[in-house]
């Protein structure tokens, strides 16, 4: 859990300049800036988790770009009550520190990477068109954009959700 307390201030800047006739003038500029006065971070406490993701189905395409997303859910009502209580306490302690308050939950999964590239088989991966040498050679001749557009057409895009169920 991350909480940020802040307020806004108006800053005034004075700029002096000369016009084409050599006369000196002063210009006033107002700027509204956000001033962060407090940051708090605290982990959500839970005992264990269980992977409840749907199985990843690799379709029969030569190349697949897999975009991974992540989320969590509560394993049971007891866990939901406990974690919602932690969130409520965190907000209660950190909210009254300034005029505005932003809150969000940032959750990490060990080993998580947001993008994967999957080849159907080793033969596809070893084709000359799908390696760094080919890309480098085409880049030298100014053809990297054409290569990237061609490569994009060869790929099938798929999104998959990694979901963890938390338990107290």
Q: How far apart are CA 77 and CA 161, in angstroms?
A: 23
Closest to 44 in 3D by CA, of 101, 83, 14, 75: 83
Residue identified by tokens 């895009």 is 157
Please give the Cα distance from 115 to 158 (Å, whole number). Answer: 10
Q: Which residue has the tokens 């480098």?
A: 136
Strand partners, 163: 71
Write out the residue range of the structural domain in which residue 100 sits. Answer: 2-167
pLDDT at 23: 92
pLDDT number for residue 131 = 75
The confidence score (pLDDT) of residue 58 equals 75
User: What is the tally of structural domains in the chain?
Assistant: 1
Per-residue model confidence (pLDDT) at position 98: 92
Residues of the chain with pLDDT under 50: none
Tell whether pTM > 0.85: no
Alpha helices in the chain (DSSP H): 77-94, 122-126, 132-140, 144-154
Q: Report how far Cα 150 is from the mean position of its chain's Cα atoms.
A: 27
């Amino acid at each position: 859990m991350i909480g940020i307390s802040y307020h806004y201030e108006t800053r005034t800047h004075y700029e002096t300049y000369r016009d084409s006739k050599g006369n000196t003038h002063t210009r006033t500029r107002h700027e509204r800036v956000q001033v962060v006065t407090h940051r708090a971070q605290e982990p959500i406490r839970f005992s264990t988790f269980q992977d409840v993701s749907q199985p990843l189905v690799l379709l029969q395409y030569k190349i697949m770009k897999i975009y991974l997303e992540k989320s969590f859910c509560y394993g049971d009502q007891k866990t939901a009550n406990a974690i919602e209580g932690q969130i409520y306490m965190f907000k209660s302690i950190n909210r009254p520190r300034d005029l505005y308050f932003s809150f969000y939950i940032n959750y990490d999964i060990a080993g998580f990477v947001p993008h994967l590239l999957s080849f159907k088989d080793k033969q596809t991966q070893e084709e000359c068109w799908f390696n760094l040498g080919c890309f480098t050679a085409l880049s030298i001749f100014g053809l990297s954009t054409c290569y990237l557009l061609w490569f994009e057409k060869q790929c099938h895009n798929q999104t998959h959700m990694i979901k963890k169920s938390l338990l107290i």
